[in-house]
Amino acid sequence: MKKLISVLIIIVVSFGFKARADEGMWLLPLIEKLNMGTMTELGLKLSAEEIYSLNQPSIKDAIISFGGGCTGEIVSSQGLILTNHHCGYGRIQSHSTVEHDYLKDGFWAMTKEDELPNPGLGVTFLIRIEDVTDQVLATVNPEMNETDRNAAINSARQAIERKATEGNNYRAGVSSFYGGNYFYLLVYERYTDVRLVGAPPSSIGKYGDDTDNWEWPRHTGDFSVFRVYSGPDGKPAEYSKDNIPLKPKYWLPVSLKNLNKGDFAMIMGYPGRTQRYFTSYEVNELLNITNPNRIKIRGIKQEIWLADMMASEKIDIQYASKYSGSSNYWKYSIGQNNQLKNLNVIAKKQQIENQFNTWVNANADRKAKYGEALNLIKSSIEGRAEFQNASQYLNECLLGCELLGFNQVTADLLPALKSADNQKISEATRLIMENTGEIYKDYNPPTDQKSMKAMLKLFRADVPEKFHPDFYIKVIDAKFKGNIDKFVDNMFSKSIFASEAKLTAFLNKPVLKTLENDPVILTYNSFINVARTLGQERSKFDQDLFKGQRLWVAALKEMTPEKTLYPDANSTMRLTYGTIQNYDPRDAVTYKYYTTLQGVIDKYKPGDYEFDLPQRFIDLYSKKEFGRYASSKGYMPVCFLTTNDITGGNSGSPVMNANGELIGLAFDGNWEAMSGDVAYEPELQRTISVDIRYVLWIMDVYAGAGHLVDEMTIRQ
């Protein structure tokens, strides 16, 4: 730990702290040495120990990883959780039916008995972070090739993780930082009884939908409410009526105070992935392969889905979560490519690379140690290009055909039938039949049928023939004269997976030959063979790429870069800090730091699926019934901007003021800085958050769920 802290302090000092103070996703054990001075200057009133402590309750004990892809926070002594609406969206959708459409109407549990369980949903608390770099690299030496190096590292990792979980119910993982040059042990505790408590209707929680997504000004009430339960002994336990609301170590107080430009803002959460140390070659791959493919493929699929969703309330519910998950990063990719080009990010990366080349070639020792870094990355990225492209198309097009994935439900039945063991067959069949309702609940065959036709045609048109699964030639061409529509229609007509009724009929009398010859099984196996081949071809470049990336980041630690080297996000808890600020997106335009209820009403379009509003909402606005949640400045706040550095995974993260009080939930970034995961833009990059006062107003005044607010510790 001391070794890493010393290195980082030297880096910060030697770089002259050229990066803005609000740039960076910081490791909690290091904030005392690296960040407290700057945070205090910005207005922070807390100590490092109050933020992250191993010996007493601290803010980190209130921050959770929610479902593995978002962040949440504990806001009451009874385990109440706040996170984003879009983080809870899949769970809200899973409970929704045409008769009880919680997506459309919202949901509020007026008693704890009304709260809805969510099988498979878990929340994770961080127990501690520990520097284990020396232990992990103890047997690693410079002469090792990448295979041997990785084997030594993985062996050390596993031993450390086993030791950390002996005699307790914790989970542990050793994560790599700085391109695999440093390693930390992270110890967690996971709770799996998490219940839905409340959610506004989507007309509030997703207000603006795709049109407003990633853009300011925002007027979205992006929040949902859950509660975590423990066993009667306070320990993690599977769902049971005997479980009790968790008694947390710490929960966040909630502030109703005004927010002002320049106020300190701090966010803690679980940012997923950034690529701030990408080279120009990796950025080029994003620009020309990854993002264009995602934009094109998902755009076509989403158009098909949306048409059916608009025509049927049932299909709208079935595909709501799928569509939302797909469209979010579809639009992200559009924005990222636009800004990578507009902000000339490749040229900026090349400037750093030129600086590196001059620096490394000026010293023989440096050249021997780091000289191959860029060439390894360049040759790997360029060498894998055609395989990367084909793999993405395979995953997005073919694996994106829902019916083809249904064969996985019979993964255990197939070997059981081959064994002719009646007991195994009976058990495998029983397990499938118990889950068929859930499997088909959110599936509409005609929608998938149209989508599959489009996806198979797109793959054939855009991907070189040498990467085509053999069913194109052996089945589509040979049996259907190249007619993809007829091939798909035949599959839906004959496959046992095409509907719940057909699968149930088969399971009542399973036959090995029928399963083996099912068109879904045959088609799936055909493209899985191609997926394996592509994976093998791509993997040939992995060792050189990983080595190049590791050497590149290590080299950047020894030269003078343009920004402070903090570790890239990797789904571990981080702290980021900044201030509430306006920004100037373009010439003669300034965006102020907050939006109001007036802006929600201004965007209102009756009957529009993105901008409609409930009548009660409009009535409350008209009467100015804002309760205690309006600003003393005369408006009802909705969203606000800060300069915090976040990315995907931070959704639902608490935004806290200088006293560690909750002032909002982070939920988005801004369009003008969509390149931020690759290159931080200090003048443009902003975090968009929903104001906690708007959250509480919806919860209390609009929904009548004031009992939930009563659980919280309110600061006025």
Please list the active-site residues: 86, 222, 651
d(CA 74, CA 82): 7
d(CA 663, CA 259): 8
CB 431 within 8 A of CB 412: yes
CB 200 within 8 A of CB 223: yes
Kindly report whether the peptide bond that precedes residue 415 is cis, defined as omega within 30 degrees of 0: no
CB 689 within 8 A of CB 645: no
Q: Among residues 63, 41, 68, which one has the least CA distance to residue 51?
A: 63
**Phi, psi for residue 191 in degrees, rounded to 5:** -110, 135
d(CA 423, CA 415): 12
Sequence-distant (6+) residues with CB within 8 A of 74 are 61, 62, 63, 64, 80, 81, 228, 246, 248, 250, 251, 252
CB 336 within 8 A of CB 286: yes
CA distances from residue 11 to 177, 516, 616 in whole angstroms, order as listed:
16, 60, 55
CB 213 within 8 A of CB 668: yes
CB 86 within 8 A of CB 103: no
d(CA 711, CA 716): 15
Class of residue 126 by CB neighbours under 10 A (exposed 0-12, middle 13-18, buried 19+)? buried
How far out from the chain centre does Cα 548 lie? 27
Written as six digits, the tokens of 686 are 């902003």
Written as six digits, the tokens of 96 are 């929704």
Q: Among residues 676, 672, 684, 675, which one has the least CA distance to residue 646?
A: 676
DSSP secondary structure letters along 5-64: HHHHHHHHHHTTT-S-TT---B-GGGHHHHTHHHHHHHT--S-HHHHS-SSS--GGGGEE
CB 551 within 8 A of CB 373: yes
DSSP secondary structure letters along 625-683: --TT-S-TTSS-EEEEEE-----TT-TTPEEE-TTS-EEEEEEEE-GGGTTTTTS--TT
